[in-house]
Amino acid sequence: MKRLLLFGVAVAAVVLLLATFGSGYTGTDQQAVSAVQERAPEYDPWASPAWAPGATTEAALFALQGGVGAAVLGYYLDRLRTSDAPDA
């Protein structure tokens, strides 16, 4: 349990580190939006996100996603490694 928690925190830290290191980089989604605007300047987006997190919240939520994912990954890998059940 403690190992899983540590693994989750470690992966969350990697996600945060990458987000910080990559903050100067432009996301390809943003590049695609720019390309659309260049190609069709008169296009009016007909919807917008109801809510968008700030940069810090966004990084934290991505870290949460990575951390929880890693803990679940570790948990089920443990189950697979310790299980003697025949191949299904």
Partner 1 sequence: MEGFLPPFWAILWTIVALPFVAYGARRTLSTVRMSARTKALVAVAAAFVFVLSALKLPSVAGSSSHPTGTGVMVVLFGPAITAFVSVIVLLYQTVLLAHGGLTTLGANVTSMGIVGPFVGWAAYRLVRSQLTIQQATFVAAAVTDWATYLTTSLQLGLAFPAGSDVGGVATATLDFAAIFAVTQIPIGVLEGLLAAAMMGYLHRIETVSERRLGVPS
CA 44 to mean position of chain CA atoms: 29
47/24 Cα distance (integer angstroms): 27
Contact between 6 and partner 1 by CB under 8 A: the answer reads no
Is the Cα torsion angle 26, 29, 32, 33 positive or negative in sign?
A: negative
Instruction: For residue 77, give both structure tokens.
Output: 């890998």
| Alpha-carbon distance values, 49 to 45, 52, 70, 87 (Å) | 11, 6, 28, 45
- In whole angstroms, what is the distance from residue 86 CA to residue 84 CA? 6
Q: Is residue 87 involved in binding partner 1 (CB under 8 A)? A: yes
Q: Min. distance of Cβ 2 from partner 1 in angstroms?
A: 19
- Which of the residues 27 through 56 are near partner 1 (CB under 8 A)? 27-29, 31-33, 35-36, 39-40, 43, 45-49, 51-53
Contact with partner 1 (CB under 8 A): which of 1, 2, 42, 88?
88
Contact residues toward partner 1 (CB under 8 A) are 11, 14-15, 18-19, 21-22, 24-29, 31-33, 35-36, 39-40, 43, 45-49, 51-53, 58, 61-63, 65-66, 68-70, 72-73, 75-77, 79-81, 83, 85, 87-88
